[in-house]
Structure 1
Amino acid sequence: MLLPRDINPELSIYYNGAIILQQLIKEDNVDIINLYRNVKNESNMSLNTYMLSLDWLFLSDIAVVNESGEVKLCS
């Protein structure tokens, strides 16, 4: 759900994408699993929500995952 109306905003893809984006700003070129661990330490994000949020960042040309599995910000 991108913008939920009847549930907490913490469950939205936008909110969780912002949490991932904050981690990428702190540490660019981070392994996809290590990024999830860092995000999990800050919030209670599930793996499914993490993947959907990461997909949204990719589709929005904000972040990209390279062939070695590292996530980095698009410039």
Structure 2
Amino acid sequence: MLLPDNIHPENSIYFNASLVLQTLQEFGKLDMLDLYHIVTKNKKISFPVYILCLDWLYIINVAELKKGEVNLCS
């Protein structure tokens, strides 16, 4: 769920995508698996949730995946 209506917003795709975005802003572009490992050092998220976060960032035109690397859109 993008924005949950319960008391655990830290489980939302919206919140977790912000963590992925912060990491991308820090490093610029990263391999998809390297990005996952860096993000999960700070907060444990499952790989399916991570993929949904990447999907969300792609849909809102913030990140793109090319040849296994995640890049920030300019």
Which consecutive unaligned segments of at least 5 residues does structure 2 have? none
Give % identity: 43
Q: Structure 1-normalised TM-score?
A: 0.94
Query: Counterparts of 1:1-75 in structure 2 under 5 Å?
Result: 1-66=1-66, 68-75=67-74
Across the aligned residues of Structure 1 and Structure 2, the Cα RMSD in angstroms comes to: 0.8
Q: Deviations over 1:44-68 (max 9, x none)?
A: 11111100011000011000001x2
- In 2, the alpha carbon distance for the partners of 1:17 and 1:61 equals 13
Hey, which bits of structure 1, 4+ residues long, moved more than 2 A? Answer: none
- In 2, the alpha carbon distance for the partners of 1:14 and 1:33 equals 20
> Alpha-carbon deviation of 1:6?
1.6
Alignment size in residue pairs: 74
Q: Structure 2-normalised TM-score?
A: 0.96
> Alpha-carbon deviation of 1:7?
4.3
- In 1, the alpha carbon distance for the partners of 2:28 and 2:45 equals 20
